[in-house]
A and B are shown apart, each in its own frame.
Chain A
Amino acid sequence: KAGVTQTPRYLIKTRGQQVTLSCSPISGHRSVSWYQQTPGQGLQFLFEYFSETQRNKGNFPGRFSGRQFSNSRSEMNVSTLELGDSALYLCASSLVAGVNEQFFGPGTRLTVL
């Protein structure tokens, strides 16, 4: 069974640009969550999607948004990039909404110059 996949793996952008990251969950999993990991703040929750609906949102500005498609694939978008958005963005999938074991993808490394 294939694991969680994330594309692209690496991205370099400049300040003010926008970026879209993609996540494909494990087959059959319907919940997708996104996390930002930085050396200073550690792992922080961005949002969770289930059945194309955002179920939960972390404490990030509105520049961070996401969506989920009917096949459970998810995208997150960051607009007007700032230097502080440089981070490893991780996607996690779980079977359903609620409290479940979560499985993480390899991440997308975003560098903002």
Chain B
Amino acid sequence: KQEVTQIPAALSVPEGENLVLNCSFTDSAIYNLQWFRQDPGKGLTSLLLIQSSQREQTSGRLNASLDKSSGRSTLYIAASQPGDSATYLCAVPEAAGNKLTFGGGTRVLVKP
């Protein structure tokens, strides 16, 4: 059974610092990995989808890397801003379906 872990559970950084968020998974036979952002009480916003054949994916200040062999993905957010404060979740699909297994999330606070 796939298990997804995100450490740390919470992170506080000063504005302008780069953010590094970690995601690990136990079963390396994944099809893809998706990173989401969630603001308090709101739904999930898809940030990046990285396919199993890719090593990294970039969108603006966001960069996600994937190392299947070690069961890890890292989300980098450059030059953090207070507006980046949110919970960040990673998720992997089960087998060949749309059922996602989520990590517990990392709650990020960027202080002005």
Q: Which A positions have Cβ atoms within 8 angstroms of B?
A: 4, 6, 31, 33, 35, 42-43, 45, 48, 55-56, 58, 88, 90, 92, 94, 97-107, 109
Contacts and interface: CB of A to CB of B under 8 A. Distances in A.
Contacts of B97: 48, 55-56, 97-99
B96 A56 contact: no
Contacts of A90: 43-44
Contact of B98 (A6, A100, A109): A100
Which of B32, B89, B100 has the most CB atoms of chain A within a 10 A radius of its CB? B100
Interface stretch (B11-19, B34-42, B61-69): B34-42
A104 B37 CA distance: 11
Contacts of B104: 42
Contacts of B89: 43
Secondary structure type dominating chain B contacts: strand
Given A42-B104, A42-B105, A102 B98 contact: yes
Contacts of A101: 32, 34, 46, 49
A59 to B, nearest CB: 11
A11 to B, nearest CB: 14
Given A4-B43, A97-B98, 20 more contacts: A31-B98, A33-B98, A33-B99, A42-B102, A43-B102, A45-B99, A45-B101, A55-B98, A56-B94, A56-B99, A98-B98, A99-B31, A99-B93, A100-B98, A101-B34, A101-B49, A102-B100, A104-B44, A104-B45, A104-B46
